[in-house]
Amino acid sequence: MYKVFVKDIPIILSTEENIGEQYTSIPLNLVRFKKLVKKISKGELLYVNLYHKNEEKLERFLRKKLPVVEAAGGMVFNDKQEILFIYRNKKWDLPKGKIEKKETHEEAAMREVMEETGVQDLEIREFLMKTYHVFKRNGKFKLKVTYWYNMYSNYEGELRPEEKEGIKKAKWKNFEKSQKALTKSYENIKLLFPKEYLTTHPNDRVTKV
């Protein structure tokens, strides 16, 4: 199963025709994808499932329908089990950026994390997952595919948010503060976190991050 986010609303791509009563299910070979994206971006559709019995065709379908931008980033932990966040466009996010020519996914992920936050002494522990979201640039929809890595750093120096990229803050956050940050984050970012990070006490939801 894949989740492709359009303004935090997921398009589900799956091998199952029925995944819930609220979903409009459409066979993959009948989908007019750009028209579908436009409807979702306007708030005209909320629950959509695109299905095909062959799972390998799901991502190939996505990559054919929209121009693809590949990016990479990291969920960085330190010795205190804090996670490194950035704050941009009034949202808490994880550092990531576009993969440059001749870069591997791992190289791009490490470079972007360092550039956006100023953190040093990074090491990659493991690949986490890919996330997908649709964005609009110069009037055209594009698909961003982001490769995420679990990273570690023992860096204790000053963090330097990359202001030219619109990043206002770079912060280490413990478990509790990470929970609060995720209430002001993106749905595709939440996919990277274990369920316990997404469960907060109702009173915490009105607490400022």
Residues 79 and 33 in one domain: no
Q: Which of 11, 7, 143 is nearest to 67 (CA)?
A: 143
Residues 98 and 163 in one domain: yes
For the chain, the domain total comes to 2
Burial of 200 (0-12, 13-18, 19+ CB in 10 A): middle
DSSP letter string, 162-196:
-GGGTEEEEEEE-HHHHHHHHTTS-HHHHTTS-GG
Domain of residue 187 covers 73-206
Residues 185 and 141 in one domain: yes
Which of these three, 65, 87, 120, is where a domain ends? Answer: 65
Residues 84 and 55 in one domain: no
- Condensed to tens digits (0 to 9), the pLDDT of residues 153-179 reads 999 999 999 999 999 999 999 999 999
Residues 79 and 180 in one domain: yes
Locate 115 and state its tokens. 């550039």
Residues 119 and 17 in one domain: no
Is 80 exceeded by the pLDDT of residue 205?
A: no
Is 80 exceeded by the pLDDT of residue 206?
A: no
- Condensed to tens digits (0 to 9), the pLDDT of residues 186-199 reads 999 999 999 999 87
Residues 26 and 115 in one domain: no
pTM of the shown model: 0.90
